[in-house]
Structure 1
Amino acid sequence: MGEIQRIKHQKALEYWSQILKEQQESGLCIKAFCRSRQMSHHAMYYWLKELRKEALSANAQVPVCTTQFAAVSLAKEEHPPCGNMVVHVGSASLEIPEGTAPQDLQRTLQVLKEVFLC
């Protein structure tokens, strides 16, 4: 990229950086913000991508810090088995075994509601 092109690109980055800051402060999504300013949201997304690329290349030049990790162990909570669940609706009782899939339980309760509570 020639010197003039680089300067133009840098100026455009500064301009769009300010526009994106205004968009974020407005609380509007990009499309709504652009519509209110009569701007192309496609251009906004393009320059957002360019600003991200610029930030990544700037971060690539920063020395990398070393990270140290410490071993962590989680204490396993012991829960007594819950056993089966018994649901009483009117004169009916339904025993639901431990480990029943949530979607099966939800469907069963829906049927009970439709049959007994309507």
Structure 2
Amino acid sequence: MPKQISSQKTDQSNKAWQAHIKAWGKSGLSGKEYCRQRQLSYHAFIYWKKKLVPRQSAATFFVPVPMPTNLHSGATGSGLKVEVGKRFKIEVHDGFMPRTLARVISVLEEYR
């Protein structure tokens, strides 16, 4: 195969996967779920994600989590605090939304 054709195919794949990685980032889905819904190879997704997305430094980073607007500040009651070394900290208070916690855990699994 001539170099020019090979280069064009690589550029097309690169652009297609850039679009998928961007859409996945906005979707709130885990990588596996995003690929399953779109019938994409999860292994190819991981390859392109590593190639296209700059690595996060070892420093702490934040993952945006949508919060319900009806939370009471200063709510009392017991909760749960989970710390994974110095890397992740999750605080769960009474009245938490299980779906939100599941999404947070799903996102954190992407960074193992």
**Fold agreement, TM-score > 0.5:** no
Higher relative contact order, chain-length normalized (CA < 8 Å, sep 6+): 2
Larger radius of gyration: 1
Greater helix content? 1
Structure 1 length-normalised TM: 0.40
Structure 2 length-normalised TM: 0.42
